[in-house]
Structure 1
Amino acid sequence: MTGYWRLLAVSLRTAPAQILGWSVAVTVLVASTASTLNGMYPDQAGRDAYAAAYVGTQSSAALQGRGYDLSSLGGILSNEMGYLALLMAPLIGLHLAIRFTRSVEDTGRLDILTAGPVHRLAPATAGLTAAATSAVLTVLFTAVALIALDYPVAGSLRYAGGLGALMLTFTAVGALVAQCCRDARTAYVLGIACWMGSYLGRAVVDARGVNVVWANPESWLAEVRPFAAEPPLWPWLTFAATTAVLLLGAATVAARRDQGGGLIPPRPGPAVAASWITTPLRLLARLTVGVGVGWVVAASLFAFAFGYLTQQMSDLGAAAGAERDTGVNATLTIFVQMNALLAGAAATQLTQWLGAEENAGRVGYALAGPVSRRRWWASATAVITAWSLILLVCTSVGTGLGLAAGFGDPGYLGNGVTDTLAYGPAVVLLAVTALALHSVSPRAVAVAWLAIGWGIIVCLRADLLDLPEWARRLSPMQWMGAVPRDAWHRPAALGMTLLAVALALAATLVYQRRDLRAG
């Protein structure tokens, strides 16, 4: 395939941190969890007690997949890593596939790379190979780490292979949507929608115990049963067949579409702007409405689903010996913190979109007229912060409705709303932090994802990993207390609000003085 090796070398050289970083991150999470479980369940009696706590409970399966072989240390690891594995592996695969294919095409770099003799499928094939390299490294690093921690060799290899297979399947999903969509943003939206449908569909199937696990890639990771005495073969075959079919579809589309085009044509906008779009604030609100509404709808669905599961999760805690109210508060704390982190993630993505608009020169066009830098930046800050708070409000209602439906008590609606809104100052601080990074450089916004990622780890795995208090405090979610498990700390909330205001003012001054990257 003419040009394949040259394009692959370019992909590997231009984004080594993307390829290696995700593999290391997944390995560290698996290894740290495996090491902690070694100390928590050193004997068979403790493992049997863990397995007994999960007998007959479907809520855990809805959240993190069906648990198998829970009397073994490897089975406990697979169960405890379920939620993060089902979250991280697909999204990493989607991101890398789009990053190395459609994003390269969007920036115009592909026009330069294909100026010489290059096979039509070489760019997409090279990009997918680079993306798949991260999955291969994940398998290698994870297997070595688990074997070093004295987990069974065969089970370690199968578990690492299952993670890699799930990542590769969604890499293939990303490849297909990247070829079908006209731009990377649409591809990300469609790819994440596919993952969400898969995850929620699996959650419903697992919660109800329906025997249709063969129909959903998100179910196959648990069905691999890596630490079983006789693990089944069919999940591997379904992973391979699905990945092959998706890649064949991506290749078919890539061979027939025009460079820079896609099967899904962009919707042409009106020739003249609406009469009400007369200010930067209104323009930015109009431009962000599609992404903002998408985030609100998706996050609200998740909030309702997990609010509904709170009752069953608290029953699981009661079965393990905890008080019911304590179990409800502990479970709800996780879910409302995830609501806040989703709101912060939405703000970060919208800030990255703003950076892309600057890189494309469109911000420069807007500022070429009688619009001051300060007015434009203040409008951007207001719109992005407003979207994050709108999402937080909608997820608070979704959580409250889920709680009311799950417990059969309308009084729980208020609990979901107030507990989620308690994290408003943290959400504003996350949004302003992303904007402050953008004020320095649009490329620096990627650093803001570290706060989101660490917040998810602290939210889901702080107790299991036995993180020290200082490490937990690196997440803004913890600064005001883990509501509702802990009391809301008003002075800390006020301090976060003041810090966000100061950071926003500093970002305005920095943005006024730096050069635009284009335009």
Structure 2
Amino acid sequence: MTGYWRLVSVSLRTAPAQVLGWALAVCALVASSASAIGDKYTEQASRDAYAASYVGTQSSAALQGRGYNLETLGGILANELGYLTLIMLPLIGLHLAIRFTRSVEDTGRLDILTAGPVHRLAPAAAGLTAAALTAVLTFLLSAAALVALGYPVAGSLRYAGGLGALMLAFTGIGALVAQCCRDARTSHVLAIACWMVSYLARAVVDARGADLTWVNPESWLAEIRPFAAQPPLWPWLAIAATAAVTFTAAGVVATRRDQGAGLIPPRPGPAAAPSWMTKPLHVLIRLTRGVCLGWTVGGSLFAFSFGYLTKQISALSAISGATRNENIDATLSLFVQMNALLAAAAAIQLTQWLATEETSGRVGYALASPVSRRRWWGASASLVTAWSLILLICMGVCTGLGLAAGFGDASYLDDGVPATLAYTPAVLLLAVTALALQSVNPRAVTVTWLAVGWGIVVCLRADMLDLPEWARRLSPLHWVGAVPRDDWDRPAALAMTLLALALTAAAVLAFQRRDLRAG
């Protein structure tokens, strides 16, 4: 395939942090969790007690998948990491597939690379090779870490292989989505929607104990049963078949479509703009309404689903002797924090879109008209913060609706909104941080995703990893407290609000003083 190896080399040289960084992050998570679990469950009696607490319940399966071989250290590790691996690995695979294929095409770099003798399939194949390399490194690094920590060699290899295989399966799905869509932004929205449908479908199946695990890729990681005496073979075959089909389909589409186009044709816009679209805020609303509505619908479904499952999930805490109110509040505090993190993620993605508008030169065209930089930045900031708050409110309402439906008691309807809105200062701080970084350098917005990722770790696994207080406080959500289980920390909320205002002022000054990246 002419030009394949040269394009692979270009992909690896231009984004080494993407290829190696994600693998190291997953390995660090696996190694730290494995070490903590090994120190906590040193005796077989403690492992048996852990396994006994899950007998006859599917309460936690909705979040972390079904648990197998819970009387072993490896089984406990796989069960406890289910929260994060079922979220992180698919999203990493989807992101890398789009990053190394469609994003390269959007920036125009592919036009330069294909100016020479290059096979038509080489760019897509090279990009997917770079993305798949992350899955391979995840397998190798995680397996080495588990073996070094004293876990069984065969089980360590199978578990680490399952992590890499799940990432690879969603890399294939992301590759197919990237070839079907016309740009990276649409590809990310559709890919995240596919993952969310898969995650929620698995949650329902696992919570109800239905025998449908063969249908969904998200169920296959648990079904590998890496630390079982006789693990099944079919999950590996299912993952391999999914990867083969999606990679092949992506290659077929790549060879048949025009460069810069997609299988899904774009909807043509009106020939002339309406009279009301004369202000920057109106233009930005018009351009981002599809993405924002997608986030709102997806986030609302996520919030309703887990609000509905709260009754079943909270049953696990009841086994340990917690009272009913403590049990429900502890479960609800987990879900409303995830609501806040989703709202922050939506704000960051919108900010990345605004950064793309600048690097493509379109912001320069807008500022060539009688529009000041301060006005443009104000419109952008208003759009990002308003949509993140709208999403937060919608998820709070849907959480309350889910609680009411799950418990069959309308009194729970009012529980979702206050608990979710308690995290408004944290969401605003993360959104303004992304906007401030964009004001300094459009490419720096990506750094904000680290705060969201760390927030997920602190929310889901701070206790298991025995994180020190200073590490927990690196997440703004931790400043607020675990509402409604804990009281809302008003001084911390006020401090975050003041910090967000200060960052806003600094961001406006930075955007006014620097040169545009293009246009």
Q: So what's the TM-score if we normalise by structure 2? A: 0.99
Q: 2:26 corresponds to which letter in structure 1?
A: V
Partner of 2:409: 409
Partner of 1:47: 47
1:324: Cα distance to partner?
Answer: 2.1
1:150: Cα distance to partner?
Answer: 0.6
Verify: 1:439 aligned to 2:439, yes or no: yes
Verify: 1:484 aligned to 2:496, yes or no: no
1:18: Cα distance to partner?
Answer: 0.1
Higher deviation after alignment, 219-228 or 406-415: 406-415
CA–CA distance in 1 between the matches of 2:73 and 2:320?
A: 18
Partner of 2:162: 162
Q: How does 1:169-208 map to 2 (within 5 A)?
A: 169-208=169-208
Partner of 2:298: 298
Q: How does 1:61-460 map to 2 (within 5 A)?
A: 61-460=61-460
How many residues align? The count is 519
1:389: Cα distance to partner?
Answer: 0.3
Check whether the contact 2:62–2:313 (CA below 8 A) recurs between aligned residues: no
Q: 2:351 corresponds to which letter in structure 1?
A: T
1:182: Cα distance to partner?
Answer: 1.0
Following TM superposition, the consecutive aligned residue runs of length 4 or more in structure 1 with deviations greater than 3 angstroms are none
* 1:346-382 Cα distance to aligned partner (Å, 9 max, x none): 1000000000000111111111111111111111111
CA–CA distance in 1 between the matches of 2:503 and 2:273?
A: 33
CA–CA distance in 2 between the matches of 1:74 and 1:120?
A: 45
- Tell me the C-alpha RMSD between the 2 structures: 0.9
Partner of 2:501: 501
CA–CA distance in 2 between the matches of 1:60 and 1:263?
A: 39
What's the % identity of the aligned pairs? 74
1:322: Cα distance to partner?
Answer: 2.1
SS at match of 1:484: coil
Q: 1:218 corresponds to which letter in structure 2?
A: E
1:454: Cα distance to partner?
Answer: 0.8
1:311: Cα distance to partner?
Answer: 1.6
1:3: Cα distance to partner?
Answer: 0.4
1:143: Cα distance to partner?
Answer: 0.2
* 1:444-472 Cα distance to aligned partner (Å, 9 max, x none): 10111111111111000111111111111
* 1:199-245 Cα distance to aligned partner (Å, 9 max, x none): 11111111111112111111111000000000001111111111111
Check whether the contact 2:348–2:434 (CA below 8 A) recurs between aligned residues: yes
Partner of 1:2: 2
Higher deviation after alignment, 316-325 or 335-344: 316-325
SS at match of 2:261: coil
Verify: 1:463 aligned to 2:458, yes or no: no
Q: 1:140 corresponds to which letter in structure 2?
A: L
SS at match of 1:118: coil
CA–CA distance in 2 between the matches of 1:322 and 1:287?
A: 49
CA–CA distance in 1 between the matches of 2:497 and 2:262?
A: 44
Check whether the contact 2:59–2:314 (CA below 8 A) recurs between aligned residues: no
Q: 1:162 corresponds to which letter in structure 2?
A: G
SS at match of 1:462: helix
Check whether the contact 2:310–2:403 (CA below 8 A) recurs between aligned residues: yes
CA–CA distance in 2 between the matches of 1:259 and 1:293?
A: 28
Q: 1:259 corresponds to which letter in structure 2?
A: Q
CA–CA distance in 1 between the matches of 2:414 and 2:287?
A: 33
Q: 1:13 corresponds to which letter in structure 2?
A: R
Q: So what's the TM-score if we normalise by structure 1? A: 0.99
